[in-house]
Structure 1
Amino acid sequence: MKIQFAPLNIPLRRRLQTAAVLQWVFSFLALAQCCLAGYVLLCISNWWVLAALYAGWLYLDRDTPTSGGRRSEWLRNCSVWKHFRDYFPLNLIKTVDLDPDSNYIFGFHPHGVLVAGGFGNFCTEASGFSSLFPGLTPYLLMLPFWFRIPFFRDYIMCGGLVSSEKASLSYLVSAPRGGNVAVVAVGGAPESLDARPGALTLQVLHRKGFIKLALKHGAQLVPVFSFGENELFDQMTNPAGSPLRWLQDHLQRLMGVALPLFTGRGVFQYSFGLLPYRQPIHTVVGRPIPVVQTPSPTKDDIDCLHSLTFSSLSLQWVGLFQWSRPPLPLRMI
């Protein structure tokens, strides 16, 4: 394989963009392991008292990831995220105004490999979420597993990440004064195994938990589509039924996290690596689907709203072809 090296005269702004994305990829793929290793070393060192005190803090703070987290506006507005935004670039598009007196569930599609659009638009202010949707506070839901890792949990909560447990989503969308936005990657981690350029496969037909909670609490459902999300990485071929896909599915059920085998570009060359390709991401926030609060929704209530939600997604997809170059077929499973 011929390696395509990056030129030496790259402008400083592009180097800063690459550095910003590099630290994000590191945070996503390796920071949790480093935090866990650091805590273990603290436990067996002369500073074990600090580890014990932190363990006590973890116990006292155990409910925070399911109670809105602990966001830091300083971190969300840090200038590093503007470089992160400009790397792709990342663009958040509003189609209609949203009433800040209501609570919302943003159904985010597709998951992609590393959810770059979800993170950049809803865990930072780089794309101007607060300006586009004044009075609304976004929370991106993440697997509960990550909130059990010392130090790492505190870092991710600063960006507005919260646990994806049912209690966490209920807490957000039951706020009496409204103004909360729970961003749910509907396809979840398994959908990342189908994320590759030129493909749009959404795992949605059996995802009804968030529909039930929307009915129970009267939260409005908003389809959100991130065009370009699947164009950021190549992934090893893993069709359904193949040995690799069987192993990935088995590990996902065992550990709760998916393990896509992906590749992108490097820091000093463009032929291989773990950095995403520089492909534009257009994250479009669609028109809300009004939900009538039903404290005890029946199966028919859930199925009816589920069908309406994804019919709306299909219709909005047809109207948003302008953000897909070229237009790609949409497949729901």
Structure 2
Amino acid sequence: MVFGIKFAPFSIPFRRRLQTLAIFLSMYIPFCGIISSIILFRLLYTQYYYITLLYLFWWIFDHETPIRGGRRINWFRNLPIWRLYAEYFPIRLIKTVDIPSNRNYIFGLHPHGILSFSHITNFLTEGTNFSKLFPGIIPHLVTINMQFKLPIQRDLFLSAGACSASKESWNYILRRKKGTGNAVCVVIGGAREVLDTIPNTMILTLKNRKGFAREALENGASLVPVISFGENELYQTMHHEEMSTGKKIQEKLYKLLTFTPPLFFGRGVFQYSFGIMPYRKEIFTVVGKPINVERISYPTDAQIDELHEKYIQQVINLYDEHKNKYGYGDIPIKIK
């Protein structure tokens, strides 16, 4: 401890240092997109202008890939860095039942957390052996279109199997893509749930999120609830009180922008007192039993509501069944 700062000891095993490096590098992927954009723009005014033009042509040619099932590259998903990424916390993917590959699925991921580390690890990489646990199931983590606008960043996301969260993208994966075993993996609470990311709580934004239920009925996709125990504990957040100043500011930003920058802090690379690195907290991601859904081309509001309520109850049951095992025994689940 120096000047109130707790520094990491020099005797840390080399593999733990590699784990920290893996997290550090992954957190700066968005900056890679920004920096790449600046570099490509500057190259336009040099003798290497053709590099920018070539990438621009590629971007135009490839612009529909995020809504056409992505461009997953298996060797990229199996890179050793993703094992190190999962080991940092560590993150463990828990299978409760077999999931047949003769249907298509929508995996509902809960909670969002600050940066969704467990959902990225489990469904965008093979860091927790998803393909071995669920053979024949091809996960497609869907995210906002902004992730596919910046160069390099978009290509990294697409290579990992990410897709756009648009309706067209969902329909392609669940209906027009050949074969079965395709899974849309969606953080249902979205950016709104970030505001309720508080350690030692499980607050899910779900009551008024019915779009996924409609998509499930229209495409005949089974619903699979997924809960990550420990995702909310990776950072200390600054909006503990419901009516705190920070919470009010974030609520206003969310209404204006439909997303909000979270107020949080964690640890640093070489010290444990402050920074944007997540804490080393164990995460258990439990994949529940599928709710089989038959296709209805034009579902009624009553049918959507019925499936939505059934899903919420399944999420509550999954949480109650496993909360004692994974350290949430005295923490009630709250559905907003």
Q: Report the TM-score range of the alignment, normalised by the length of the smaller protein.
A: over 0.9
Would you say the 8 A contact 2:246–2:263 is kept in 1? Answer: no
AA partner of residue 160 (structure 1): G
Give the aligned partner of residue 94 of structure 2: 93
2: CA distance between counterparts of 1:73 and 1:132? 16
What is the CA deviation profile of residues 161-203 of structure 1, one whole-angstrom value per residue up to 9, with x for unaligned ones? 1111111111111145211111100000121121121121111
Would you say the 8 A contact 2:195–2:239 is kept in 1? Answer: no
Question: Are 1:74 and 2:75 an aligned pair?
Answer: yes
> In the TM superposition, what are the counterparts of 1:195-214 in structure 2 within 5 Å?
195-214=197-216
AA partner of residue 229 (structure 1): E
2: CA distance between counterparts of 1:323 and 1:110? 18
User: Normalising by the residue count of structure 1, what TM-score does the alignment of the two structures yield?
Assistant: 0.95
Unaligned ranges ≥5, structure 2: none
TM-superposed CA distance for 1:242, in Å, is 4.3
2: CA distance between counterparts of 1:83 and 1:155? 18
Would you say the 8 A contact 2:220–2:296 is kept in 1? Answer: yes
What is the CA deviation profile of residues 121-157 of structure 1, one whole-angstrom value per residue up to 9, with x for unaligned ones? 1111111111111111111111111111122111111
> In the TM superposition, what are the counterparts of 1:48-197 in structure 2 within 5 Å?
48-174=49-175, 175-197=177-199
Give the aligned partner of residue 9 of structure 2: 7
Matched position secondary structure for 2:273: coil
2: CA distance between counterparts of 1:316 and 1:198? 17
1: CA distance between counterparts of 2:257 and 2:7? 37
AA partner of residue 11 (structure 1): P
AA partner of residue 279 (structure 1): K
Give the aligned partner of residue 326 of structure 2: 324
What is the CA deviation profile of residues 12-52 of structure 1, one whole-angstrom value per residue up to 9, with x for unaligned ones? 01111111111112225x23322322232233333222222
2: CA distance between counterparts of 1:130 and 1:271? 37
- Cα 1:191–1:161 change in 2 (3 A) is same
Query: Quick one: which of 283, 286, 296 aligns to 1:284?
Result: 286
Unaligned ranges ≥5, structure 1: none
TM-superposed CA distance for 1:292, in Å, is 1.6
2: CA distance between counterparts of 1:252 and 1:40? 31
TM-superposed CA distance for 1:245, in Å, is 3.0
- Cα 1:12–1:214 change in 2 (3 A) is same
Would you say the 8 A contact 2:71–2:161 is kept in 1? Answer: yes
Give the aligned partner of residue 295 of structure 2: 293
Of 269-278 and 323-332, more deviation after overlay is shown by: 323-332
Would you say the 8 A contact 1:233–1:264 is kept in 2? Answer: yes
Question: Are 1:44 and 2:35 an aligned pair?
Answer: no
Of 10-19 and 168-177, more deviation after overlay is shown by: 168-177
AA partner of residue 121 (structure 2): G
User: Normalising by the residue count of structure 2, what TM-score does the alignment of the two structures yield?
Assistant: 0.94
1: CA distance between counterparts of 2:268 and 2:109? 28
Matched position secondary structure for 2:170: helix
Would you say the 8 A contact 1:66–1:167 is kept in 2? Answer: yes
Query: Quick one: which of 310, 313, 316 aligns to 1:314?
Result: 316
TM-superposed CA distance for 1:310, in Å, is 0.2
The aligned length equals: 332
